[in-house]
């Protein structure tokens, strides 16, 4: 047999299928993704895809893995402390989610237990130099915070981009402070940075206090 032992007539691959799925979701949203349409995008019938993916759920998991695997490659820079590294991971995760907002509802709904995501956690625990259970709490808090925050920002239907956009018709008499807040509101990036810094600060300050008191 030759080297390329898997060369079907359409040159399909599990990787190419996932690629196409991600592109499709980026363009049309997760709700529009069906096996038939994805097959059409690849010039193939729906059932053909089942040769590369056991079912649609597995395809969803593969999409999530694409985003998370980018985090596994984040190495600690020299002299960097756990807090800085965790901040960089959080920002990268957010970047990935924003680059593929269609995957956001999936990432929020399905557990991230791929080897890559476990690797990220393991690295975090090593860098933090804290009791592992406490470090896991921190990582968990940061990752879930990023997910929740990004979800509120971009995880909506493709139409309305943000809460602010969908509230242009707000009743300023009933909610005067909210109306003003939306007028003066910061950009999403700034709001994320503000909240992330607050969380990290709080996490590490809280931990220091509990260490001192024990």
In 3D space, the residue among 66, 10, 8 whose CA is nearest the CA of residue 41 turns out to be 10
Instruction: Sketch the per residue contact string, 31 through 60, with DNA: x for CB under 7 A, - otherwise.
Output: --xxxxx-x---xxxxxx-xx---xxx---
Name the residue nearer to DNA (CB basis): 2 or 213.
Answer: 2
CA 120 to chain centre: 13
91, two tokens? 């920002």
- Residue 184 and residue 7: Cα distance in Å, rounded? 57
Q: Per CB under 8 A, which of residues 95..154 are in contact with its own copies?
A: 105, 108-111, 113, 115, 118-119, 121-122, 125-126, 131-133, 135-138, 140-141, 143-149, 151-152
For the CB of residue 214, give the shortest distance to its own copies in the complex, in Å: 14
180 contact partners, CB below 8 Å, separation of at least 6? none
- Residue 155 and residue 50: Cα distance in Å, rounded? 28
Helix (H, G, I), strand (E, B) or coil at 184: helix
- Residue 152 and residue 1: Cα distance in Å, rounded? 52
Name the DSSP class of 76. P
Instruction: Sketch the per residue contact string, 74 through 113, with DNA: x for CB under 7 A, - otherwise.
Output: ----------------------------------------
Name the residue nearer to its own copies (CB basis): 49 or 196.
Answer: 196
For the CB of residue 12, give the shortest distance to its own copies in the complex, in Å: 29
Per CB under 7 A, does 9 bind DNA? yes
Per CB under 7 A, does 177 bind DNA? no
Q: Given phi > 0 = left and psi -120 to 50 = alpha, else beta, which region is 187?
A: beta
193, two tokens? 């940075």
Per CB under 7 A, does 62 bind DNA? no
Per CB under 7 A, does 201 bind DNA? no
CA distances from 49 to 7, 10, 46, 72, 196 (A): 15, 11, 6, 28, 40
Residues that bind DNA (CB under 7 A): 1-2, 6-12, 33-37, 39, 43-48, 50-51, 55-57
Residues that bind its own copies (CB under 8 A): 105, 108-111, 113, 115, 118-119, 121-122, 125-126, 131-133, 135-138, 140-141, 143-149, 151-152, 155-156, 160, 163, 166-167, 170, 174-178, 180-182, 184-186, 191, 194-195, 197-203, 205-206
């Amino acid at each position: 047999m030759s080297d390329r032992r898997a060369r079907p007539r359409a040159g399909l691959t599990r990787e190419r299928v996932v690629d196409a799925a991600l592109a499709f979701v980026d363009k049309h949203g997760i709700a529009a993704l069906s096996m038939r349409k994805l097959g059409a995008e690849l010039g193939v019938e729906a059932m053909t895809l089942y040769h590369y993916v056991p079912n649609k759920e597995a395809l969803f998991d593969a999409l999530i893995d694409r985003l998370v695997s980018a985090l596994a490659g984040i190495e600690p820079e020299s002299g960097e402390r756990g807090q800085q590294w965790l901040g960089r991971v959080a920002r990268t995760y957010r970047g990935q989610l924003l680059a593929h907002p269609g995957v956001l509802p999936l990432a929020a709904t399905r557990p991230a237990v791929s080897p890559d995501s476990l690797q990220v956690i393991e690295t975090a625990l090593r860098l933090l130099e804290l009791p592992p259970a406490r470090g896991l709490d921190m990582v968990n808090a940061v990752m879930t915070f990023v997910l929740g925050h990004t979800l509120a920002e971009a995880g909506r239907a493709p139409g309305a981009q943000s809460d602010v956009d969908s509230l242009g018709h707000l009743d300023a008499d009933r909610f005067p402070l909210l109306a003003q807040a939306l007028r003066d509101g910061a950009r999403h990036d700034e709001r994320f940075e503000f909240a992330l810094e607050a969380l990290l600060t709080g996490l590490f300050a809280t931990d220091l206090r509990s260490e001192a008191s024990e």
